[in-house]
Amino acid sequence: MSDFDLLAISRLGMQLEQQRMDLINTNIAMANSSSKVGDGYQAQSVSFIQALDSASTLDQVVSVVNRYNDQKLKYDPNHPLANSEGMIELANVDLATEMVDLLKVSRAYEANVKSYKASLDMAGFALEIGK
């Protein structure tokens, strides 16, 4: 494994964590949304595909999946989106889970940045040795 492979792995890791962070931010933004029954926002997360050996792009490594399958229904007959039974659907986002995931993602991103910088430093030291 060369230093360039390490840089590519760290770069792919940073891209992945950025995508995870974007999805978490979307989940948090949609947490208080309501809609017609059947159209509610489903919290999303990133699923890793176990094909890292041959993957060269982010699209080959990740897929976006719904985190939960249940609906959160609320009785609110005065809501403009309520159905004939007075029900609306709330987003199925758990803010505590999203905030914990956001902390984990930021730490993972930070670790990938440190790995990337360390690989660059090692490559620089290797070049100096060759002088």
Residue 63 dihedral angles phi and psi, to the nearest 5°: -140, 150
Question: Quick one: pLDDT at residue 70?
Answer: 78
What mean pLDDT, rounded, does the chain reach? Answer: 83
Q: How many CB atoms lie within 10 A of CB 41?
A: 21
Report how far residue 47's alpha carbon sits from residue 65's, in angstroms, rounded to the nearest whole number. 7
Q: Could you tell me the sign of the dihedral formed by the alpha carbons of 114, 115, 118, 119, in that order?
A: negative
CA 131, CA 123: separation in Å to the nearest integer? 13
Map the chain to HEC letters: CCHHHHHHHHHHHHHHHHHHHHHHHHHHHCCCCEECCCCCCCCEEEEECCCCCCCCCHHHCEEEEECCCCCEEEECCCCCCCCCCCEEEECCCCHHHHHHHHHHHHHHHHHHHHHHHHHHHHHHHHHHHCC
Identify the pLDDT of residue 58: 56
The predicted structure's pLDDT at residue 27: 92
What pLDDT score does 50 carry? 56
List the pLDDT tens digit at each of the 131 positions of the chain: 454 677 888 888 888 889 899 999 999 999 988 888 888 888 888 877 655 555 555 556 677 777 777 778 889 999 888 898 999 988 888 899 999 999 999 999 999 999 889 888 888 888 888 76
